[in-house]
Structure 1
Amino acid sequence: MSNTTMATSTILLFLLAGLAAAHGNGDTTIRLPSEGDAPPQPAKPWDCCDNIEMSPLKIFPPLYRCNDEVKQCSAACKECVEAPGDFPRGAFVCRDWYSTVDPGHMCTAPDQPTTKRPWKCCDNIVQLPHMIFPPFWRCDDELEPGKCTAACKSCREAPGPFPGPLICEDVYWGADPGPLCTPRPWGKCCDKAFCNKMNPPTCRCMDEVNKCAAACKDCQRVESSEPPRYVCKDRFTGQPGPMCKPRAQN
């Protein structure tokens, strides 16, 4: 027997002896790499948020951002910028996106949500993150001061130059937030929506359809499509709407 073979045999004997001793003591434990070694979840960039925004990206957990104007951003916020406006107001907004199932609670609890919808229609509808059904809704459309105060109990200034439009702060509790004021150029639904990260987002729908919706102004035929298919090239500021086809289950 060669020296190499003897050395290998000796090592194997030591290994087997160690395994047998561990088994005999009942201490055999197999620890997966994920147990205790996962990196800690970074801290949420906000403690609470009234103006939460969910990214249009179809991922899970979803991405959230808090658009509240604050005097000082949270210590966990990495991108803290001055709030929009014509002059410094001493207010800041955190632009961080955070991946989570639950974005957290509101800073200001809804003041007696109403079951009577304060708006006839709304383009920039926001569903509040409360885990409740029917859900809470708020309309972030910018309104003329007279229209806002006539329909809403509480109005706030919209971001931008002062004086300017107002936004209704009333919270509606109901299953149906109401229709859009401005119809989407592609209709009520879209499967291939592309949106930017603004609030509200500006979107396009790349669905190929037999006929563009009546609201579409720039309807273009898909090259070499037979029978002819069309895509609406219009842009729309607001949510793209629900999917036309239910998502396939894995």
Structure 2
Amino acid sequence: MCTQPVATAKKKAEEEERPWKCCDFALCTRSFPPMCRCMDKVEQCAATCEKCEPATSDSSQRVCNDWYHGFPGPMCSEPVATAKKGEEEERPWKCCDLALCTRSFPPMCRCVDKVEQCAATCKKCEPATSDSSRRVCNDWYHGFPGAKCTAGALLIAGHPSVADEASAILLPSQDKDQVVMATPRPWKCCDVTVCTRSIPPTCSCQDVVDNCAPTCEDCNGYVHPPRRVCLDRYTGDPGPRCTDAGAGGN
């Protein structure tokens, strides 16, 4: 019946309490119901959050790194009330190749490009997690992300949303005979991939693992010590999943 997926999702929501009371910036997969994670930086996580950890960009703030099987729930604040209108606010960047945007209209966007120097309009210009010699503007902008910086980025179809950008996409792996890799993947397998919509896509793996693959150059343990996350980006098919259910990497 058509109502069965809805009933299943409601039943799941009733069995599992969300790790947050509300969320403004949720990363969700395209499954039904989705797997979601809340990226909000808060002073204190909800009591239902199991992995309440320091935010990468601001250790005085906390982020709940739990994944929730179900819809993310209500927003904490209306975007219009927490940000200036697009026409009144200058973008924190001159151009952007990789933008994370909410599905609201107009969206709330953040540019995750790693640059040598942020634009003068950027208030939170901080070292990139994977390369401290580069900078990332961690400002959120209420409006569309604007022009691309490079021609290659124009391959990305439209303005990717948070759900599009954070695999949320979970691209299916091609047959090994069809994949021609110039460089080896930074991981052997991955359950939670973050991929752009370009062809081929540029992907990163969000799996928290005991040890990164030998091909991973930036194996970071800051957020989840003693476990690790490979922060490398790979251009091409992200490869096979580690588990059938996609519950976590190895």
**Larger relative contact order (Cα-Cα within 8 Å, sequence gap ≥ 6):** 2
Q: Which has the larger radius of gyration?
A: 1
TM-score grouping bracket, smaller chain normalisation: 0.3 to 0.5
Q: Structure 2-normalised TM-score?
A: 0.47
What TM-score comes out, normalization by structure 1 length? 0.47
